[in-house]
Amino acid sequence: MKPPNRVSDLECAICGSLSCKTFAPQSLFFPAASSNTVLPKHTNYLCEACGIVFMHPHPPQELVTKYYNEVYRESVYAIHHANGVADLPVQFPESAASFARFSNFIQCVEQVRKKYPGAAPSSHDTVIDIGGYQGMFLSAASQVYGCDGIVVDYNERGINFSQKALGFTRSSVIASLYDYAPSEPAKFATMVHAFEHVDNPRKVLDHIKRAVLRPDGYLYIEVPNLFGSSLSDPVHYFTFSKESLRYTLEVSGYQVLYLETGGNKHAPATINSDELVLICLARSVSTPKPSQPSGAKNTASLVQKNYAKLSRRAIAVQFRTAGNEFAKAIYYTIGHFVLEKLSTDLQRTVAKIKKWSGLRLH
């Protein structure tokens, strides 16, 4: 008989194990259920062998494409008209956040280049940003390292912007990543908050290794961290911990050079923490070392415990913000009455001076 909670017909896409069980740690700040009304509801599962968390079922591809091209990228300022939708060419704060994420890249490659000098892009290199939308991340890359960039994304509007506004003329709209290959393999590929959206991480890593990167190329990945993010996003197909991301990369023929947790200072203060994301740099290798899945002992209780810790921190941030606002209100209230009083006193002083000096001012 099946153990309760176990879903034997679900095979882990990372390690092939059939030991996958439902996984739903949650709290007020980290909900497990999606509030999206366009895409069908999903359930998250944990692979007990490799620790990957994945959602099932995936929504139909037509719905996902529609979602990415419409709702996902649509700003609150969008104008719906008879012929379609007009929207802002640049969307703040999302576009700015994409640009700002480059600071994690700098921190990572500057650390790695101490041991591997080629790990940072130069003015001779091209960085291919997979899922890079408008190219804001590459804009930061070209300003910092002088490199060229190619954005690859499903979103036509984003690619137009990257070509025309940012000058990444080789950027291209793709229907499927598996059909994409640059005319010349690149030394760097980046996937910044894109890898959690792919339907088959190992297949994507294999394709990047074979068709996108040079044999010694580097792949930079930033994804939400299992221990610091909620599981409610209906298009986050996989959620990684440090251990499961390392295993996924190693078993796909990459050597992990850097893998740390980090934050995003532009994320809402209640959500941001130094455990919000995973920052990773890996190198494609011809003879990968054998890798063993780390298991998932106590993962559910550890994630739940971390949610509780981060929720307490979020509440403390709310109180600190409220305290600062209250202190400001007191400051302005006192300041207002003191200044008014001073002003009355000043008027009287001026009147006295006028009287004493016999001046007549009009």
* Contact positions vs Zn ion (CB under 5 A): 12, 14-15, 17, 47, 49-50
Q: Which residue's CB is nearer to Zn ion, number 17 or number 270?
A: 17
Measured CA to CA, the distance from residue 306 to residue 351 in angstroms comes to: 67
The strand pair at 213-224 and 186-192 is best described as parallel
Q: Which residue's CB is nearer to Zn ion, number 12 or number 235?
A: 12
* Six-digit token string for 70: 């419409």
Judge contact between 70 and 228, C-beta under 8 A.
Answer: no
Q: Which residue's CB is nearer to Zn ion, number 49 or number 226?
A: 49
DSSP string, 288-323: PPP------TTHHHHHHHHHHHHHHHHHHHHHHHHH
* Residue 288: CB minimum distance to Zn ion, A: 17
Instruction: Give the SS3 label for residue 47.
Output: strand
* Residue 299: CB minimum distance to Zn ion, A: 12
* Residue 293: CB minimum distance to Zn ion, A: 6
Q: Which residue's CB is nearer to Zn ion, number 50 or number 127?
A: 50
* Residue 17: CB minimum distance to Zn ion, A: 5
* Residue 54: CB minimum distance to Zn ion, A: 9
* Residue 47: CB minimum distance to Zn ion, A: 3
Measured CA to CA, the distance from residue 298 to residue 302 in angstroms comes to: 6
Measured CA to CA, the distance from residue 42 to residue 56 in angstroms comes to: 6
What's the gap between Cα 20 and its chain centre?
A: 26
Q: Which residue's CB is nearer to Zn ion, number 50 or number 219?
A: 50
Judge contact between 133 and 151, C-beta under 8 A.
Answer: yes
Q: Which residue's CB is nearer to Zn ion, number 248 or number 264?
A: 248
* Residue 50: CB minimum distance to Zn ion, A: 3
* Residue 296: CB minimum distance to Zn ion, A: 8
Q: Which residue's CB is nearer to Zn ion, number 248 or number 284?
A: 248
Q: Which residue's CB is nearer to Zn ion, number 75 or number 292?
A: 292
Judge contact between 283 and 231, C-beta under 8 A.
Answer: no
Query: Across the chain, where does the E strand assignment appear?
Result: 20-22, 43-47, 53-56, 79-81, 84-86, 126-130, 148-153, 172-173, 186-192, 213-224, 238-239, 254-262, 277-284
* Residue 186: CB minimum distance to Zn ion, A: 30
Give the Å distances, CA to CA, from 109 to 26, 118, 128.
Answer: 34, 9, 16
Q: Which residue's CB is nearer to Zn ion, number 50 or number 198?
A: 50
Judge contact between 223 and 242, C-beta under 8 A.
Answer: no
The residues that bridge with 225 in the sheet, in sequence order, are 240
* Residue 15: CB minimum distance to Zn ion, A: 3
Judge contact between 120 and 258, C-beta under 8 A.
Answer: no
Measured CA to CA, the distance from residue 269 to residue 320 in angstroms comes to: 11
Judge contact between 123 and 143, C-beta under 8 A.
Answer: no
**Nearest of 131, 137, 107, 132 to residue 119 by alpha carbon:** 107
Q: Which residue's CB is nearer to Zn ion, number 12 or number 140?
A: 12
